[in-house]
Amino acid sequence: MTRRTAAENDRRLRQLGSDLALLYPGPAGWWEDADLRRIAGQHGAAANDIDVVAGVDAADQLLVNRLKTHQGELASLGHPEYGSRHHELIGQPNTERTRALVKLHVLEAMGHEPRVAKIHRCDVTAAHEPPRDVVRISMDVEIVDEPAPRNLVVPFSLAVGAESNIDTTALAATAVAVGGRP
């Protein structure tokens, strides 16, 4: 791999952008229950600010956020196509047909993302242990100007109401590590 020039790195970082840093308390690669990440204070002092991510780390978040957002949710802000329609399948049985529709909606959502160069793999699989209404969306996504694909696993529950909370501790053993994340 050839080394990028400073100008190429600057262009790449501008293209990928920056965002508020999100903290995902579950296992690496398990994109659920995010909270804002705070900046650590000096010498053990409490931080009073939130952190920011840029570049490839921002790209990971933008992909997950696009999938976690219901399409049309940001229409009033001028982004009617942002998000995914797979949330419309909540309440459907966890069957091969439903999982195929989840995959279709996920691929459609990623097709609207200009920073995605190529999707190498997208699998939607059923959980093999309770809760059985959970599917895992596993993707290898190539970001523009980034040679190594990003590996993402995004859980999605088909359950309705209070049952739809995903217990990440029960599913931690099946989480897939995200490329570039600890």
Tell me what pLDDT residue 10 has. Answer: 56
Tell me what pLDDT residue 179 has. Answer: 43
Tell me what pLDDT residue 72 has. Answer: 92
Q: Residue 16 corresponds to which amino acid?
A: L
The verdict on residue 16 lying in a domain is: yes
**Average pLDDT by stretches of 10, the chain with 182 residues:** 56 59 60 65 61 75 87 91 94 95 96 91 87 89 87 87 44 37 36
Tell me what pLDDT residue 154 has. Answer: 85
Tell me what pLDDT residue 61 has. Answer: 81
Tell me what pLDDT residue 171 has. Answer: 38
Q: Which domain holds residue 71?
A: 6-174
The verdict on residue 160 lying in a domain is: yes
Which of 56, 123, 135, 59 minimizes the C-alpha distance to 92? 135
> What CATH code is carried by the domain that includes residue 114?
3.10.450.40
Number of domains present in the structure of the chain: 1
The verdict on residue 56 lying in a domain is: yes
Tell me what pLDDT residue 106 has. Answer: 96
**Letter string b/e over residues 23-52, b meaning 16 or more CB atoms within 10 A of that residue's CB:** ebebbebbbbebeebeeeeeeeeeeeeeee
